[in-house]
Amino acid sequence: MSFTIQNVLIPVDQAYETVDVQINAGQIAAVGSQLEVVGTAVDGQNKLLLPGFFNAHTHSSEMWQRGIIPPVPLELWIAELYEFSPLNPEQIYLSALGTAVETLLSGGTSVVDHLVLIPGQELETVAAAVRAYQEIGIRAFVAPLIQDEALSAGVPSGGAAIDHDPYLRSTTATLNLVEEMVQQFHRPAEGINILVAPTGIQLCSDALFKGCIDLSDRYNLCRHAHLLETKAQKLLAQEKYGCSAVEHLQQIGYLSDRTSLAHCVWLDDADIEILAETRSTVVHNPLSNLRLGSGIAPLLKYRQAGVNVTFGCDGAASNDSQDLLEAIKIGSLLHNVTDLDYQHWTTPRQAVEMASLGGAKGLNVSEELGSLTVGKQADLVMYDLTSLSLLPRTDPIGLLILGRPTNAVDSVWVRGDRIVAAGQVNTIDVNNLRQQLFQHSEWVTQRRSQELRQVEARYRSVMGLPESSSGYS
């Protein structure tokens, strides 16, 4: 399909230009003034065109628990999440659609779904998410979340001898399962990519990481994982390896320019140097880090060290939203309090580049995506600058990133296909999706997690917190 966006505003250097943008066969063919209309003409008057952003880390199925898990740290939060998270493929499908809609309507054209798998229905889980993403048309990087150690292994022992139950699946069986997912679903040309994605050092053996490295190399796959989200994980790494988690991942070869790492809150300067040397990408998830009390990632240090950084919403039970513009705003402003030198602070234009080109670099697709460059694929978002939340007229990108844009997305194209037009998703029936999400859920105001209760006492002891007689609330 060919089309030409006419008279649209684009950023150039530290200014803006009004241009025409020609799209042909899903690629940007030309950018300039008063170009010949090729294909359909699209009115870009009073609109801003940007490359699509990456929601570079989320867990779509967590949508079913948004707003219900109490304010507790990750190690307790995840115990409750796992206890109440048995789902079915239809729920996986619906929550993937919901995640995609929210991402699209907040400027995203790509999503990295660190997908929680239904035990015994792992292939069906991936198939359901892939079906949703293909139907709606968003570009998807499906990262099946795998582990080979029991949940209890994710909390430091504090020197105590603890026997952990075996995980439900062997390491070899897990790796074979991932390979089957790659063979069935990895279709980059169709906008579906499979990533190798161990959950993190807290629940994964070296054998699992090394198996993922092998799959990554054999099938040219990107790698994804959580990394040092909490202080407890930093303590756990010292217990397991006698060195930092970053050092260990470097030693076993997991870090590379195809590796993206979610959170990275508890890293020291030596760790940051390793990430820069290995050209690994940090995915900053500021809202979940605040929600779970995990800490503030040293974003400014990453950027000063030359580490590639991008943004993610994280799952909708730890955020509890998939509003990418909100994550970018908080992820930019939060760090102004960590460095008195304001010249180090993140500008709105830098935030846009991190959300677009930064995401593309982390997924090894920066030659095809991430900027308004002739020859790149047409993953584009056009914002309505007459939207009330983007008025009065000042700096369009400043309004978009520093403000609170609502109903500001006019159009979204992925691979040149127009998925959103006039602010409405046109590839699926969103009203029907709303009804399905409503009908498949129910109001819940209180629930008591037995798993969380079991983990809580050990967590408080290891973290040096006083004993609690009341437990969580």
C-alpha 134/C-alpha 123 separation (Å) is 16
The pLDDT assigned to 15 comes to: 96
Kindly state the average pLDDT of the residues 73-87: 82
Burial of 438 per CB tally in 10 Å (0-12, 13-18, 19+): exposed
The pLDDT assigned to 473 comes to: 46
The pLDDT assigned to 70 comes to: 87
Residue 154 has pLDDT above 90, yes or no: no
The pLDDT assigned to 470 comes to: 56
Residue 324: CB partners within 8 Å, gap ≥ 6?
53, 55, 102, 103, 106, 107, 108, 311, 313, 355
- For domain 3-50+374-436, give its CATH number from 3.20.20.70, 2.60.260.20, 3.40.50.300, 2.30.40.10: 2.30.40.10
C-alpha 195/C-alpha 285 separation (Å) is 19
pLDDT-derived band at 160 (thresholds 50, 70, 90) equals low
Structure tokens, 466 = 């006083």
pLDDT-derived band at 87 (thresholds 50, 70, 90) equals confident
Kindly state the average pLDDT of the residues 3-7: 98
Residue 104 has pLDDT above 90, yes or no: yes
The pLDDT assigned to 469 comes to: 59
Assigned CATH class of 54-362: alpha beta
Kindly state the average pLDDT of the residues 462-468: 84
Question: What ranges do the domains of the chain cover?
Answer: 3-50+374-436, 54-362
Q: Mind listing the pLDDT tens digit for each residue in 373-418?
A: 999 999 999 999 999 999 999 999 999 999 999 999 999 999 999 9
- Residues 52, 103 contacting (CB under 8 angstroms): no
The pLDDT assigned to 14 comes to: 87
The pLDDT assigned to 1 comes to: 79
The pLDDT assigned to 430 comes to: 98
Phi, psi of 403 (to 5 degrees): -90, -160
Q: Mind listing the pLDDT tens digit for each residue in 194-214?
A: 999 999 999 999 999 999 999
Residue 168 has pLDDT above 90, yes or no: no
Read off the pTM: 0.95
Q: Mind listing the pLDDT tens digit for each residue in 237-293?
A: 999 999 999 999 999 999 999 999 999 999 999 999 999 999 999 999 999 999 999
The pLDDT assigned to 437 comes to: 96
Q: Which of 79-83, 300-304, 413-417 has the lowest mean pLDDT?
A: 79-83
Q: Which residue has the higher pLDDT, 80 or 48?
A: 48
Q: Which of 53-67, 70-84, 172-186, 196-210 has the lowest mean pLDDT?
A: 70-84
The pLDDT assigned to 66 comes to: 92
Structure tokens, 272 = 């940051």
Beta bridge partners of 16: 11
C-alpha 18/C-alpha 11 separation (Å) is 9
Residue 220 has pLDDT above 90, yes or no: yes
Residue 146 has pLDDT above 60, yes or no: yes
The pLDDT assigned to 347 comes to: 97
Q: How would you write the chain as a 3-class SS string? A: CCEEEEEEEEEECCEEEEEEEEEECCEEEEEECCCCCCCEEEECCCEEEEECEEEEEECHHHHHHCCCCCCCCHHHHHHHHHHCCCCCHHHHHHHHHHHHHHHHCCCEEEEEEEEECCCCCHHHHHHHHHHHHHHHCCEEEEEEEECCCCHHHHCCCCCCCCCCCCCCCCHHHHHHHHHHHHHHHCEHHHCEEECECECCCCCCCHHHHHHHHHHHHHHCCCEEEEECCCHHHHHHHHHHHCCCHHHHHHHHCCCCCCEEEEECCCCCHHHHHHHHHHCCEEEECHHHHHHCCCCCCCHHHHHHCCCEEEECCCCCCCCCCCCHHHHHHHHHHHHHHCCCCHHHCCCHHHHHHHHHHHHHHHCCCCCCCCCCCCCCECCEEEEECCCHHHCCCCCHHHHHHHCCCCCCEEEEEECCEEEEECCEECCCCHHHHHHHHHHCCCCCCCCCCHHHHHHHHHHHHHCCCCCCCCCCC
Residue 151 has pLDDT above 80, yes or no: no
Residue 296: CB partners within 8 Å, gap ≥ 6?
265, 286, 289, 290, 334, 335, 338
Phi, psi of 58 (to 5 degrees): -155, 175
Residue 303 has pLDDT above 60, yes or no: yes
Exposure string of 402-433, with b = 16+ CB inside 10 Å and e = fewer, is bbebeebbbbbbbbbebbbeeeebbbbebeeb
C-alpha 80/C-alpha 31 separation (Å) is 51
Q: Mind listing the pLDDT tens digit for each residue in 62-78?
A: 999 999 988 899 988 98
Q: Tell me the CA distances in angstroms from 200 to 145, 205, 223, 358, 445, one per residue in order.
A: 9, 9, 11, 22, 31
Kindly state the average pLDDT of the residues 28-47: 97
Mean pLDDT of the chain: 94
Q: Do domains 3-50+374-436 and 54-362 have the same CATH topology?
A: no
Kindly state the average pLDDT of the residues 342-362: 98
